[in-house]
Amino acid sequence: MGAEGATEQEKCASHNPRTVPITEAQFLSWKRQKDAEASAKRDETARKRAEDIASGAVQMNGRELFLHQPWVFDNTQY
């Protein structure tokens, strides 16, 4: 088989365009960008959920109910 009998690992390595190592600065830049995108997505989801709760479109879970209406959990009346 000769050249045709290359291992799967050799085939993957020869066709991978990202075989050039990146520097630490490049990685940290990518990581900051990735974290910022994740944070923005999380913030947008939280804002959307708060709007939906305020409009009554979705049910609150227990924690959200406790934060928005703590009087429901007041046991001093009993």
- Would 53 be classed as within a structural domain? yes
Q: Give the tens place of pLDDT for each residue, 33-67.
A: 999 999 999 999 999 999 998 898 999 999 988 88
Query: How many domains does the chain divide into?
Result: 1
Nearest C-alpha neighbor of 9 from the set 1, 23, 19, 24: 19
Are the C-beta atoms of 49 and 68 separated by less than 8 Å? no
Domain assignment of residue 77, yes or no: yes
Would 31 be classed as within a structural domain? no
Domain membership flag for residue 69: yes
Q: Determine, yes or no, domain membership for 68.
A: yes
Indicate whether 23 belongs to any domain.
Answer: no
Residue 3 lies in a domain: no
HSE at residue 46, side-chain half, CA atoms within 13 A, is 7
b/e map of 24-59 (b: 16 or more CB within 10 Å)?
eeeeeeeeeeeeeeeeeeeeeeeeeeeeebeeeeee
Residue 55 is part of which domain span? Answer: 48-78
pTM of the complete model:
0.58
Question: Is 70 inside any structural domain?
Answer: yes
